[in-house]
Chains A and B, each alone.
Chain A
Amino acid sequence: MELTEDQLHRYSRHIILPEVGGKGQKKILNAKVFIVGAGGLGCPVGYYLAAAGVGTIGMIDNDTVELSNLQRQIAHSTKKIGVHKVDSAKETFESLNPDVKVIGIKDRISKDNIKDLIKDYDIVVDGSDNFPTRYLVNDACVMLKKPLVSGAILRFEGQVTTILPGEGHCYRCLFEEMPPPGLVPSCQEAGVLGAITGVVGALQATEVLKLILGKGDVLKNMLLIYDALKVNFRRVKVPKNPDCPVCSDNPTITELQDYDAGYCRI
């Protein structure tokens, strides 16, 4: 595959980077990334990956755009209220960059569909808004050995970590079990400053692009915590747990399970 004249222009600021070049840009164009959620995190992740030229972006979300989403979900717009989020995001990303094919799935991710959904993708990004999905995505990625870039946001804080199954920690090494629903902030408590989703989403997109390029370090065995009020980034070491219920040599979780709701979706 040769880059076209338009592509040389579109990606010129990538190509002139020693770490990217024409060869790296072709890797990006050939990459397939699956994003869980087309909301606060899925929007900026997908936006930057589309701009970067990631050739295939899969996205799953069962929701439609609501007015209250637009304070942070930047792929959508006022005229898209009522439209499925994956359709709205597809139109935004494909009009930004015709090199990108967005495959939108209007469904909820579950133990029954997740493996089929992600199996043909190189990297998975978790932009979900609830713990059951976060654990399901982690467990499926560990079982299928898919690199996973996980992000989370709440109020003025964000977290990012990169899970490379077989090499580093997984989400259950960090938090073995889901917190009980009562400990998770209720809907009234769970606000978020919209711009935080952009910070965390851009960090996730950057992790994905470094994985595609094979350049630099990623957040393997590490959790990055951003505190916007204190303007502080902190990197915390997360060792792989030798007794992890899903990623250790003798896992106790060997089949996927759907967890009950009872959690507020932020």
Chain B
Amino acid sequence: MEDVRIDKKINIKGLICPYTFVKSKIAIEDMEVGEVLEILLDYEEASRSIPKSMEDHGHKVLKVEKINDTDWIIQVRKEKE
């Protein structure tokens, strides 16, 4: 699979909803359309809610992956301002 170029990474381990999405949304707002945000988190519910909310906001979720016992990464491409 083709590697995606990551433009910004944030680590929101330790945060719970809705701050997981608040932090993710603030991060993507400051990026350019087409850029990719990678989010590292450890709150399971957010591994489902962040992708859903990002798509509701019109962005493209490229990857949701559990990387170890506690953590997930989510990659989102900004699709609109």
Contact = CB atoms under 8 A, between A and B. Distances in A.
B23 A8 contact: yes
Given A8-B19, A15-B22, A16-B21, A21 B29 contact: yes
Contact of A12 (B22, B29, B53, B57): B22
A interface, over-half SS: helix
Contacts of A230: none
8 residue pairs, one from A and one from B, having the closest CB atoms: A22-B26, A12-B22, A15-B22, A22-B29, A16-B18, A8-B22, A18-B57, A12-B18
A108 interface: no
Contacts, number: 27
A23 interface: yes
A16 to B, nearest CB: 5
A207 B63 CA distance: 39
Given A13-B18, A16-B21, A3 B26 contact: yes
Contact of B19 (A3, A12, A23): A12
A73 to B, nearest CB: 33
A9 interface: yes
Contacts of A3: 26
Given A15-B25, A16-B53, 12 more contacts: A3-B26, A8-B19, A8-B22, A12-B18, A13-B18, A15-B26, A16-B21, A16-B22, A18-B57, A21-B25, A22-B25, A23-B29
